[in-house]
Structures are given as structure tokens and as C-alpha cells.
């Protein structure tokens, strides 16, 4: 905060508040905000009807001050009073703060420039502690147990939505407290990386991209993709998948604290470029970045994409998930969660990355 000339940070409900204060607050219309002044003690502002939950936060149980407000109070004026005595400088607001709150803070603190708190907080959040890595490992093991059930769930003649219903229940049974997403993309639907589910009936010979994730009791997230096929795949699909598999595994091994984020993405594309499908290099069908950070959010920094010259650092946790997507035909993706370490890379996933056959 001192280096960025920030007088105070204001953090509202979301992953940043959970990370800093140990408070997974509900994002209500009533303001909850942690005010962290450059000098002086931080305070957690909470509506009176949320006071009980706020006082159970790690912040409060560690001696942090909780200031409650009633229905007739203006909580933004409480924030302004806390900030007014601070040193000169900007107000840093969390990156996901609602626009209504950003504007209201600007009204009550008109002399204070506003900047994003992400430039300060993200540097902390993207380097996981050993305990955070343990929690991500637990999440990875839980979602892998669901993937192991998929061959017992999927049958030709089922719809994508029927499969997703069973997978969603399995995600909860595996220990998650919430289902974040279930992608069941069969046949031509696999060409849409973020297809959800549909009433399409799964047929014999269909490849199926299944990308699933949830939230664990700790708040940390899981995210894992495997590709399946009912019966035997077409020869051209199998050949392309083997190239993808090699690119994914090689990219995992390529991770180290000497590499830039963009170099991992480029590594996979170079390995895919030599294989052609429908007259085009396979990497032409790789239409998204190779990976994203994961922690208290499914997608967070770092982002492994062309143009990101940041160097990977020990403790960073992120996905490695190359894919190919051929419009109107099919798609494929393989996704692991890995951690950059001083020794190289640690893969949190153990499940086979091969194309998984489901009996026809």
C-alpha cells in the first residue's frame, strides 16, 4: 500500500475478503466491507443482522474490530469516517466490487482517487502456502473420484443433461459443498469449449468432453477435464488425441520457475502444430489459453496466455489444459491442476489422461 500510494483498501464480499479475513460473507444489497487503512487498525463493517456471522470470521476471532450498522444508518459514511483520518493517497477497491458501491464510495470520498486492490492482493493470492496446496490437493482428489465414476454413469442413449445430473450428485457426494460447473459436451457439442449440457442423446462413437469442478468446505476449488468416447473413436480423432496428450503432458513437465506464463502456452502449440486435421494445423483448433490460476476462485491469476510475460513462481497453482475444437464435428481437452515448485512442477492429479473408453 505504501509503494502504491494507497491510503486504504476496501474489500467487499468475495474471494479477496475470504482470503484476507477468513469471512465468506454473503454478497447482499447491505454493505459488508473490510477497511484496511495505511495506518491504524482495520475494521470489518457489517449490517447488524449479519453481526453474528461477522464475529465468527477469522479476522474477528483474532481480535479484529467489527462495526455494525442498523437499517437506518449509511454504512458508506462509516467507511468515509474510517478513511478520513488516514494518510493522503488513493482508495484501493477490490477487483470484483459492485459498480454501485464503487460509485457510492466515490461520492463520499470525492478527494480520493480510486485504484484496483488486485495489484496488491493478487501478488499474495497467486502464491499458495503449503496449507493452501494441501487444500487444493484435497479438492483435486475429490473431483478425480467423480471422474472415476463417469464410465459407470455414461451409456449411449442417455442425454447430456441426464449424465450431468448424476455427475452433479457425485460431486457433492465426493465432499464438495457446491457444484461450480458440469460440462458434458458430446459429439459436435465438444467443439464448444464452454458448452454446458443439452438434451442431445449420446451415441456410439461419440467423443465426450467432461469438465467438472466444485467448491470444497475449505472454499478451495476443484477443476478437472477428461475426454471419453463411447465405443471406439474414429481413427483421425484418435491420432489427434494422441498429439494433444503428448502436448499436455510435455507442457506439465515444461513448468518451472524459470518459465514465463506465455512460454507454457507456446510450448503446447508448437507440439500441436505439426499434426493436421481437415487440412489445418491442430493448434489452429486450440482456441483458448492453456491455463488459469485456481484457489478460492476457479479462475484467478496467473493466466497462462500469449502476452503474459510474468515469470512463474514457486507456489503458483494453475491448470494445464490444451484442447482442440473442430466446428460441427468434435472436440477434446485434457486438464490437470499443477503447482510450480522450486524443484520444477507438482501435478495434483493422478488420474490417467488417456482417451477413456466407455462400453457401447
Confidence of residue 87 (pLDDT cuts 50, 70, 90): confident
Would residue 1 count as lying in a domain? no
Q: Among residues of the chain, what percentage have pLDDT more than 70?
A: 100
Q: Are residues 322 and 174 located together in one domain of the fold? A: yes
**Is 204 inside any structural domain?**
yes
Instruction: Please report whether residue 109 resides in a domain.
Output: yes
d(CA 195, CA 210): 10
Q: Do 268 and 200 share a structural domain? A: yes
First and final C-alpha spacing in the chain = 60
Q: 267 is in which domain, residue-wise?
A: 130-358
Among 99, 124, 149, the domain-final residue is 124
pLDDT at 84 over 90: no
- The CATH number given to whatever domain includes residue 76 is 3.40.350.10
Q: How many domains does the chain have?
A: 2
Please indicate, yes or no, whether residues 98 and 148 belong to a single structural domain of this protein. Answer: no
Q: Are residues 9 and 120 in contact, defined by beta-carbon separation less than 8 angstroms?
A: yes
Does any domain span residue 159? yes
Residue 46 CB coordination number (10 Å): 26
Residue 218 and residue 119 share a domain:
no
pLDDT per position as a tens digit, 23-79: 999 899 999 999 999 888 999 999 999 999 999 999 999 999 999 999 999 999 999
The torsion angles phi and psi of 185, rounded to 5 degrees, stand at: -115, 100
Count other C-beta atoms under 10 Å from residue 340's C-beta.
Answer: 25
pLDDT at 85 over 90: no
Tell whether 296 and 148 lie within a shared domain: yes
- Same domain as 109, residue 146: no
**Where is the domain boundary, 124, 146, 162?**
124
Residue 191 is assigned to a structural domain of this protein: yes
Helix (H) or strand (E) holding 1: none
Domain boundary among the residues 95, 124, 153 is at: 124
Amino acid at each position: 500500500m505504501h509503494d502504491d500510494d494507497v491510503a486504504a483498501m476496501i474489500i467487499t464480499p468475495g474471494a479477496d475478503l475470504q482470503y484476507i479475513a477468513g469471512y465468506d460473507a454473503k454478497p447482499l444489497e447491505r454493505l459488508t466491507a473490510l477497511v484496511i487503512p495505511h495506518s491504524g487498525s482495520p475494521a470489518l463493517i457489517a449490517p447488524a443482522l449479519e453481526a453474528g456471522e461477522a464475529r465468527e470470521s477469522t479476522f474477528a476471532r483474532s481480535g479484529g474490530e467489527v462495526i455494525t450498522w442498523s437499517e437506518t444508518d449509511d454504512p458508506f459514511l462509516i467507511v468515509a469516517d474510517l478513511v478520513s483520518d488516514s494518510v493522503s493517497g488513493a482508495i484501493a477497491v477490490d477487483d470484483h466490487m459492485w459498480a454501485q458501491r464503487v460509485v457510492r464510495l466515490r461520492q463520499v470520498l470525492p478527494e480520493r482517487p480510486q485504484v484496483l486492490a488486485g495489484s496488491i492482493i493478487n501478488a499474495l493470492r497467486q502464491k499458495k502456502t503449503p496449507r493452501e496446496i494441501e487444500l487444493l490437493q484435497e479438492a483435486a482428489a475429490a473431483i478425480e473420484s467423480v471422474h472415476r465414476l463417469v464410465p459407470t454413469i455414461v451409456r449411449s442413449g442417455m442425454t447430456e443433461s441426464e449424465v450431468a445430473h448424476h455427475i452433479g450428485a457425485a460431486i457433492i457426494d465426493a465432499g464438495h459443498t457446491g457444484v461450480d460447473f458440469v460440462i458434458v459436451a458430446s459429439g459436435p457439442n465438444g467443439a464448444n469449449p464452454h458448452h454446458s449440457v443439452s438434451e442431445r442423446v449420446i451415441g456410439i462413437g461419440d467423443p465426450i468432453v467432461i469438465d467438472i469442478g466444485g467448491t470444497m468446505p475449505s472454499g478451495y476449488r476443484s477443476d478437472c477435464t477428461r475426454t471419453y468416447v463411447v465405443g471406439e473413436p474414429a481413427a483421425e480423432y484418435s491420432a489427434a488425441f494422441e498429439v494433444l496428450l503428448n502436448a499436455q503432458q510435455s507442457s506439465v513437465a515444461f513448468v518451472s520457475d524459470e518459465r514465463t506464463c506465455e512460454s507454457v502456452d507456446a510450448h503446447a502449440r508448437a507440439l500441436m502444430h505439426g499434426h493436421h486435421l481437415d487440412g489445418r494445423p491442430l493448434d489452429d483448433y486450440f482456441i483458448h489459453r492453456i491455463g488459469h490460476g485456481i484457489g478460492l476462485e476457479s479462475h484467478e491469476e496467473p493466466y497462462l496466455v500469449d502476452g503474459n510475460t510474468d515469470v512463474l513462481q514457486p507456489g503458483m497453482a494453475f491448470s494445464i489444459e490444451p484442447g482442440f475444437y473442430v466446428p460441427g464435428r468434435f472436440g477434446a481437452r485434457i486438464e490437470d491442476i499443477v503447482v510450480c515448485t522450486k524443484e520444477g512442477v507438482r501435478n495434483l492429479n493422478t488420474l490417467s489422461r488417456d482417451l477413456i473408453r466407455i462400453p457401447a
